[in-house]
Amino acid sequence: MRKIEKEMRAAIVDRRDWSKDNTRVHFTCTGLGRVYLHGNHIADAHRNYYGSIVITPNRDTLAQWPTPTTKSRLRALGVDLTQKAGVISIDGEMVCHV
């Protein structure tokens, strides 16, 4: 995992706004963390009832921008993202074909 990805994850755990290079984490007043790459919303982060962090990837953005950087950021957030034979899947469900 790259240093920028570790810092991104730390910002989510600490619930604080953070920005570095092409990646940004912004928390709304309701506590929802939004993760952006090059200004494109790639994921949401929130805490569930038990305090665990839940990541919800933005499948539309991934389908539109299936770059190595987008995939790396999502994987760093713990998203089960795979690519096999040009098919990108999250949790075993196809997102797009590249």
pLDDT tens per residue across span 21-30: 999 999 999 9
Closest-CA residue to 61 (of 96, 94, 86): 96
Predicted confidence band of residue 1 (pLDDT cuts 50, 70, 90): confident
pLDDT at 68: 95
Report how many domains make up the chain.
1
CA neighbours closer than 13 Å in the CB half-sphere of residue 49:
0
Domain that holds residue 27: 3-97
Q: What predicted TM-score, i.e. pTM, was given to this entire model?
A: 0.93
Q: Measured on CA atoms in the order 21, 42, 87, 65, is the torsion positive or negative?
A: negative
Check whether 93 has a pLDDT greater than 90: no
pLDDT at 84: 92
Element (H, E) at 26: strand 23-27
pLDDT at 36: 98
